[in-house]
Structure 1
Amino acid sequence: MRRIFGWALAVVAPFLATSAAMAGPILNRADLRPGQDLSGTWNYSVDPYRDGVTGFHRGPPGAGHRRYDDSDVDQVTRADPKALYEYDMKRSPTATLPASWLTHAPEMRHYQGLVWYQRRFDSVALKPGQRAFLRFEAANYTAKVFLNGQAVGEHEGGFTPFSFEVTSLLRAGENQVTVGVDSTPSVDGAPPPVTDWETYGGITRPVRLVITPATFVDEAWVRLTRDGRTIAADVKLDGAAAAGAAVSVKVAGLTLSGQAGADGVAKLSALAPKSLKRWAPGAPTLYDVRVEAGDDVLSDRVGFRTIEVRGGEILLNGKPVFLRGICLHEEELGENPARTITEANARALLGEARDGLNANFVRLAHYPHSEVTTRVADEMGLLVWSEIPIYWLVAFDNPRTLKLAREMLADSIHRDRNRASIVLWSVANETPVGEARNTFLGTLTDDVRALDDTRLVTAALLAARKTVDGPNGRQAEQWIDDPLAAKLDVLAVNTYAGWYSDDDLDAVAKIAWRPTDKPMVFSEFGADALAGFSDPVLMRKFSEDFQARYYEQTLAMAANAPSLRGLSPWILKDFRSPRRQHPVYQQGWNRKGLISPTGRRKAAFKVLADYYAKLKGEGR
């Protein structure tokens, strides 16, 4: 959600005249565009009482408190010794960005609130007709951006990119960019305040100054149509000369040409060549794309494949596929992760899934992950489930929350529509059935279909349960009883029988699942285990022995689910979670990972890897 500042009323008015943008462009593949990487060393200053936002009496902050002012505090106070400043960004502590502030210093470990970031950078003068944008891949959770002391805009949502035009504010020579990032969750936000993973406040993904021509290619969606016969490209231009501009797309030996309409959008298509290789796990063929319009060129690499549901099957390129998966959080390996997802970090995580577990599928939970991860998944040949942070205590009856969720969903889809790896858009996780919730999620499902008709829609649902008479006596029966199922392509359910229930592990394998009229995925199941803790006699929870046995029994239960077409157990790696405070086994970590924070494989890792190896050997 991009907007002019929604701070205290007294401080809004002065910003209106100087704001450079209310809503920025998409700027697909900003990492490949001309400009300047602003990652690196930044100064930071904590502001727990939001002193830099509002004064004591709800008025604007005074000069000695505005961390975004374009001034050198030391020089000002030398020139005027009576001046009182209670900040000095230039001499504040430094941190290397992108990274969450959790790892900046020990005292930042559990900080929640507002932190100001600032760095100075040199820029050459813009040439006539050029435009400049500040683009952030993510800042968690609300970001307020200033350039050279002037407000340029605000963004809400910690996991999607945003851009603001700064053409009129960028100086030749030294510039100062300041960002106020507030990690505090709100009751009408997304995600909601109650969660089970680390907040990771801060600027967690790269920042870039992007330079474009006056009219440029903002977005190019290049894909194989659902029938598998046509390559289509929707190209959106931004700028005064967008309407009627000539556009060409070169890919796979084809040149698609045409003109943008009055809305700046060109819709191009051509029959796919017979030689086109389909993208798939094990054969992740990617093609270079070159989009030209006027003075601008946009590059990308895309794969071509189809994904559909037919009866109870998920079909990839027309053939049934079983999703051998695992869930991931956006958290790199290491004892002190900072949510710094480099290409190497992404490859390490996805490599454990593909090469270690024999997986062909990852669920990126519970929010849009870094663009680095989805691009690496394209290259490595992993199918992807992508979702937005709609779960648990979301304010489903609040119009602002729905608007925010729709914008997050749209931003995520616009960013990643070119990623062949993504086959499932998820609109929610573990949400209680209710009229407001059903309407809310129904709207999101409709949005997905309007924005992208080439992928499948899902949501992680909850299961109903009762005890019935079975062939071997009394047993549990589970099924999906959710009105949202009618709007989904793939039904997904989280099941933790044997961990969050009193079921004996031997009883878990006997649980029966009612068949569904659509393919079903076990989107979560898991049990905590502290790496290295063994208790084979008592088989206590948190032991590797219990976790391994839990996996054996749950995978046996999968044979009792006739509609099952995929699994994504919870979770690949132990992850930070402040709510998990057992002093021996958890210590601030959710231990459901199949590997430890540093990558040590637990006993259950082999259980799942062997199970997937067998399925793979059977061609599933």
Structure 2
Amino acid sequence: MLYPILNSARTLIDLSGIWKFKLDDGTGFENKWYEKKLENSLTMAVPASYNDQKESMDIRDHYGYVFYQRELSIPKILQGQRIILRFGAVTHYAKVYLNGELICEHKGGFLPFEVEIQDKVRFDTNLLTVAVDNKVDQSTLPVGSEKDGSMMGGGMPSIPGVTPKKQNNPNFDFFNYSGITRPVKVYSTPMSYIKDATIVPSVDGNDAIVSYTIDTVGEGKVDIEIYSEDGEVVAKAEGKSGTFIIKDVNLWQPLNAYLYTAKVTFCEDSYDQTFGVRTIEVKGIEFLINGKPFYFKGFGKHEDSEFRGRGLDEVLNVKDLSLMKWMGANSFRTSHYPYSEEMMNLCDREGIVVIDETPAVGLHFNIGGAKGPTPVDTFEVIRTHEHHKEVVEDMIARDKNHPCVVMWCIANESDTATNPDSAYNYFKPLYDLAHKCDPQNRPVTIVGIMGASRGDKTLPAMDVICLNRYYGWYVFGGDLEAAKQALNIELSFWQKFGKPLMFTEYGADTVAGIHAATSTMFTEEYQVDYLTANHEVFDRHDFFIGEQVWNFADFQAAQGIVRVDGNKKGIFTRERRPKYAAHYLRSRWTKIPNFGYKTEIKK
């Protein structure tokens, strides 16, 4: 799916701003609120999560549908054009109505969807209504528990005469921010148009050989011109598929990005697709970018900020990447869902390496609020199979041309060890699907949960082994010598598989401003000691290819007795103020090269 742009062939209308908003009281669909203007509505900014925009517990903790509404005017000059209504993301289920007519539905809260409206729209004033459902359960991604209690909430006792309010019970440790969280846009194309573009670069000596496919609707000729960053034409091609050569190519490198632009022309339509030339390969125990062994330095993070929740904030995106570069970081994982297209475009430009992850978090019914009295086979109970396939396909279709994306992650912390055969049978087809869908055939991984190792058949089947481990926090908390011993034993176990391994999470909750001369848990000093202990072990192993700390910044979580105003594992506060550990990591990471870090160990 192409990102909407404005050019001489295409118009673009941004629907960001203040919309009308109303919580569904259970009668919204029965009384057909979508057919007329909402009564007694509130104001709500779009794009943004709705939860924190108003001082209301009913809004913050709402369970079920809400209604958004605004008037939509389409210029008459667009008559005869193809007109598309596009949503960057609506969390988690959307029903879209135009002038009272249901025109599309979409499941999944972190990927775009669109619908043609030229045959449905009036060329004056239209009523646009979006009904948004935030419920999570065992059929959604991310997953919610269908039992009482949440992962962090401690459960709800059943007491005769007490009726708890209906609420989501997320089987994941971040707040279930909801609403129209990414931009809503209307764009137009000619009726004969460019539908998609796929660009696959390879390197031959000093040159690039780039294959391409242009999907079009209608009859006509395709022409392509390739521009350098200086605006010079460096290659040309004709036809809907083929190859072109870029002489003396400038490679896209981590923290040193170079982007080319393919200007595609078809009939009256045109589209500019940026791309970078770089190679990705897993070879033995190394992860190679442009043929050199790359070392991941960075974070897991969240789309999370005050007031906006998970809503798009381009200022914050720029600031976050600036702070990463200040620290010497070169990468992050889109934990635990695909991030906005705007962030992916920014990472392309800034040279930040990205592990792109689906929203498949919480597929583990033997922990937290989903846990029952006896272990269950998660993959016999879960109802996400088909939706998970759709998400993998849609994520790769959206992000396939981004040079920043070097690996696909199909799930986070799933139950891969309790019933290893059923887990393997669930995930192996998704692994194969990801490889099949990706024209660049990037590596595919899954992130393993703490405690899952022996007996696990899924993680060893991946191209890279990614682990979330908390020795020194959840296990041997406060005893870092024991933590180092346990960590070394575990890494020795994984070494036998002969694959590269990295940590996609390791961290310690740290409350900014709490200090101690003798470090103890939750102090800023302990966070540094914890990280130092982990790094001592990481640096001993030649197959260990990267460290991504959990988390970049403090983030909001569901209410519960384990989290005090959110998860505090951030290296930065939620307001992006550095904790003591930020300066420690800066000192470490600015000394570690992006390439060849473990060369001496391998010798």
Q: Which residue does the alignment assign to 2:213?
A: 234
Whole-Å Cα distance in 2 between the matches of residues 231 and 500 of structure 1?
48
2:172 match: secondary structure: coil
Whole-Å Cα distance in 2 between the matches of residues 229 and 542 of structure 1?
50
- Greater shift after overlay, 481-490 or 372-381? 481-490
- Encode CA deviations 1:387-406: one digit per residue, 9 max, x unaligned: 00223336634685121111
- For 1:553, give the aligned amino acid: A
Q: Which residue does the alignment assign to 1:81?
A: none
User: Does structure 1 retain, via aligned residues, the 8 Å contact 2:142–2:359?
Assistant: yes
Q: Which residue does the alignment assign to 1:420?
A: 403
- For 2:446, give the aligned amino acid: A
Instruction: After TM superposition, give the deviation of residue 127 of structure 1 in Å.
Output: 4.7
Whole-Å Cα distance in 2 between the matches of residues 398 and 295 of structure 1?
51
Instruction: After TM superposition, give the deviation of residue 506 of structure 1 in Å.
Output: 2.3
Aligned mate of 1:163, from 95, 98, 114: 114
Q: Which residue does the alignment assign to 1:446?
A: 432
1:42 match: secondary structure: strand
User: Does structure 2 retain, via aligned residues, the 8 Å contact 1:417–1:452?
Assistant: yes
Aligned mate of 1:38, from 8, 11, 15: 15
In the alignment, structure 2 segments of 5+ residues that lack a partner are 145-170, 228-233, 365-377, 598-603
Aligned mate of 1:98, from 47, 51, 54: 47
Instruction: After TM superposition, give the deviation of residue 174 of structure 1 in Å.
Output: 0.9
Instruction: After TM superposition, give the deviation of residue 559 of structure 1 in Å.
Output: 2.3
Q: Which residue does the alignment assign to 1:56?
A: none
Say yes or no: does 1:542 pair with 2:519: no
Whole-Å Cα distance in 1 between the matches of residues 320 and 277 of structure 2?
24
Instruction: After TM superposition, give the deviation of residue 464 of structure 1 in Å.
Output: 5.6
Pair 169,591 (structure 1): closer, same or farther in 2 beyond 3 Å: same
Aligned mate of 2:386, from 396, 403, 420: 403
Aligned mate of 1:598, from 568, 571, 575: 575
Q: Which residue does the alignment assign to 1:52?
A: 28
- For 2:586, give the aligned amino acid: A
- For 1:548, give the aligned amino acid: V
Compute the RMSD of aligned alpha carbons.
2.2
Say yes or no: does 1:300 pair with 2:276: no
Whole-Å Cα distance in 2 between the matches of residues 309 and 203 of structure 1?
38
Q: Which residue does the alignment assign to 1:57?
A: none
Identify which of structures 1 and 2 has the higher relative contact order when contacts are C-alpha pairs closer than 8 Å and 6+ apart: 2
- Encode CA deviations 1:177-215: one digit per residue, 9 max, x unaligned: 100011111221111011111111100000011211112
Q: Which residue does the alignment assign to 2:139?
A: 188
Q: Which residue does the alignment assign to 1:475?
A: none
1:393 match: secondary structure: coil
- Encode CA deviations 1:308-337: one digit per residue, 9 max, x unaligned: 0111111111111111121111124xx444
Q: Which residue does the alignment assign to 1:461?
A: 448
2:338 match: secondary structure: coil
Say yes or no: does 1:205 pair with 2:182: yes
- For 2:398, give the aligned amino acid: R
2:333 match: secondary structure: strand
Q: Which residue does the alignment assign to 2:355?
A: 385
Q: Which residue does the alignment assign to 2:550?
A: 570
Instruction: After TM superposition, give the deviation of residue 289 of structure 1 in Å.
Output: 1.9
Instruction: After TM superposition, give the deviation of residue 111 of structure 1 in Å.
Output: 2.1
Aligned mate of 1:316, from 279, 282, 289: 289
Q: Which residue does the alignment assign to 2:483?
A: 508
- For 1:340, give the aligned amino acid: G
- For 1:345, give the aligned amino acid: L
2:424 match: secondary structure: helix
Q: Which residue does the alignment assign to 1:121?
A: 72
User: Does structure 1 retain, via aligned residues, the 8 Å contact 2:363–2:413?
Assistant: no
- Encode CA deviations 1:466-494: one digit per residue, 9 max, x unaligned: xxxxxxxxxxxxx6753223432211111
Instruction: After TM superposition, give the deviation of residue 340 of structure 1 in Å.
Output: 2.8
Pair 570,499 (structure 1): closer, same or farther in 2 beyond 3 Å: same
Superposed, 1:325-336 pairs within 5 Å as 325-332=298-305, 335-336=306-307
Instruction: After TM superposition, give the deviation of residue 462 of structure 1 in Å.
Output: 3.5
Say yes or no: does 1:561 pair with 2:541: yes
- Encode CA deviations 1:65-122: one digit per residue, 9 max, x unaligned: 21110x45xxxxxxxxxxxxxx51xx51112210100122111222232110000122
| Identical amino acids, percent of aligned pairs | 30
Whole-Å Cα distance in 2 between the matches of residues 174 and 351 of structure 1?
42
Q: Which residue does the alignment assign to 2:456?
A: 482
Instruction: After TM superposition, give the deviation of residue 358 of structure 1 in Å.
Output: 0.4
Aligned mate of 1:520, from 494, 497, 501: 501
- For 1:68, give the aligned amino acid: Y
User: Does structure 2 retain, via aligned residues, the 8 Å contact 1:213–1:296?
Assistant: yes
Pair 481,609 (structure 1): closer, same or farther in 2 beyond 3 Å: farther
Instruction: After TM superposition, give the deviation of residue 556 of structure 1 in Å.
Output: 1.1
User: Does structure 1 retain, via aligned residues, the 8 Å contact 2:295–2:595?
Assistant: no
- For 1:458, give the aligned amino acid: T
Aligned mate of 1:68, from 28, 34, 53: 34
- For 2:45, give the aligned amino acid: T
Instruction: After TM superposition, give the deviation of residue 411 of structure 1 in Å.
Output: 1.2
- Encode CA deviations 1:244-266: one digit per residue, 9 max, x unaligned: x32222214212211xxxxxxx3
- For 1:545, give the aligned amino acid: E
Superposed, 1:246-325 pairs within 5 Å as 246-252=221-227, 253-258=234-239, 266-270=240-244, 272-325=245-298
Pair 428,364 (structure 1): closer, same or farther in 2 beyond 3 Å: same
User: Does structure 2 retain, via aligned residues, the 8 Å contact 1:148–1:176?
Assistant: yes
- Greater shift after overlay, 544-553 or 419-428? 544-553
Pair 359,134 (structure 1): closer, same or farther in 2 beyond 3 Å: same
Say yes or no: does 1:349 pair with 2:320: yes
User: Does structure 2 retain, via aligned residues, the 8 Å contact 1:98–1:203?
Assistant: yes
Aligned residues: 535
Instruction: After TM superposition, give the deviation of residue 273 of structure 1 in Å.
Output: 2.1
Whole-Å Cα distance in 2 between the matches of residues 31 and 129 of structure 1?
18
Whole-Å Cα distance in 2 between the matches of residues 222 and 129 of structure 1?
30
User: Does structure 1 retain, via aligned residues, the 8 Å contact 2:176–2:558?
Assistant: no
Q: Which residue does the alignment assign to 1:216?
A: 193
- For 1:365, give the aligned amino acid: S
Q: Which residue does the alignment assign to 2:164?
A: none
- For 1:518, give the aligned amino acid: K
User: Does structure 2 retain, via aligned residues, the 8 Å contact 1:397–1:437?
Assistant: no
2:44 match: secondary structure: strand
Instruction: After TM superposition, give the deviation of residue 281 of structure 1 in Å.
Output: 1.7
Q: Which residue does the alignment assign to 2:152?
A: none
User: Does structure 1 retain, via aligned residues, the 8 Å contact 2:475–2:483?
Assistant: no
Say yes or no: does 1:492 pair with 2:497: no
Whole-Å Cα distance in 2 between the matches of residues 580 and 232 of structure 1?
52
Whole-Å Cα distance in 1 between the matches of residues 271 and 362 of structure 2?
40
User: Does structure 2 retain, via aligned residues, the 8 Å contact 1:328–1:364?
Assistant: yes
User: Does structure 2 retain, via aligned residues, the 8 Å contact 1:460–1:493?
Assistant: yes
Q: What TM-score do the two structures reach when normalised by structure 1? A: 0.82
Q: What TM-score do the two structures reach when normalised by structure 2? A: 0.84
User: Does structure 1 retain, via aligned residues, the 8 Å contact 2:476–2:483?
Assistant: no
User: Does structure 2 retain, via aligned residues, the 8 Å contact 1:544–1:602?
Assistant: yes
1:225 match: secondary structure: strand
Instruction: After TM superposition, give the deviation of residue 618 of structure 1 in Å.
Output: 8.3
- Encode CA deviations 1:148-186: one digit per residue, 9 max, x unaligned: 111101000000000011111111111111000111112
Pair 367,319 (structure 1): closer, same or farther in 2 beyond 3 Å: same
User: Does structure 2 retain, via aligned residues, the 8 Å contact 1:286–1:302?
Assistant: yes
- For 2:115, give the aligned amino acid: F
User: Does structure 2 retain, via aligned residues, the 8 Å contact 1:325–1:361?
Assistant: yes
